[in-house]
Structure 1
Amino acid sequence: MAGKTLTKLTAGTKVRVKDGTPLPEFPDTDCGGWTGEIMEHIGKKSSPRYVLQWDDNTVAQFDEEYIAQCEEKKLFHLMACFEAEELEVAE
Structure 2
Amino acid sequence: MTTRHAVQFRIGDLVQVREGVVSPDFSDISFAGWTGIVREISTKRSGTQYLLEWTEETLRQMPQEYRNRCEQHQLLYSMACLSEEDLTVPKPAASQGRAA
- Which TM bucket (shorter chain)? 0.7 to 0.9
Deviation, 1:68, is 1.1
Question: What residue in structure 1 maps to residue 39 of structure 2?
Answer: 39
Output aligned runs, 1:1-80, within 5 Å. Answer: 7-44=7-44, 47-80=47-80
Q: What RMSD, in angstroms, separates the aligned Cα atoms of the two structures?
A: 1.8
Relative to its length, the structure with more strand (as a share) is 1
Paired-residue identity, %: 35
- Unaligned runs of 5+ residues in structure 2 are 1-5, 93-100
Q: What is the TM-score with the length of structure 1 in the denominator?
A: 0.84
- For 2:17, the aligned partner's letter is V
Alpha-carbon distance in 2 for matches of 1:65, 1:22: 14
Gap regions ≥5 residues in structure 1: 1-5
Deviations 1:12-70 (A, max 9, x none): 11000001110111111111000011001125165121000000110001233211100
Task: Trace 1:80-91 onto structure 2 (pairs within 5 A).
Answer: 80-90=80-90, 91=92
Query: For the pair shown, which has the larger CA radius of gyration, 1 or 2?
Result: 2
Query: With CA pairs under 8 Å and 6+ residues apart, which has the higher RCO, 1 or 2?
Result: 1
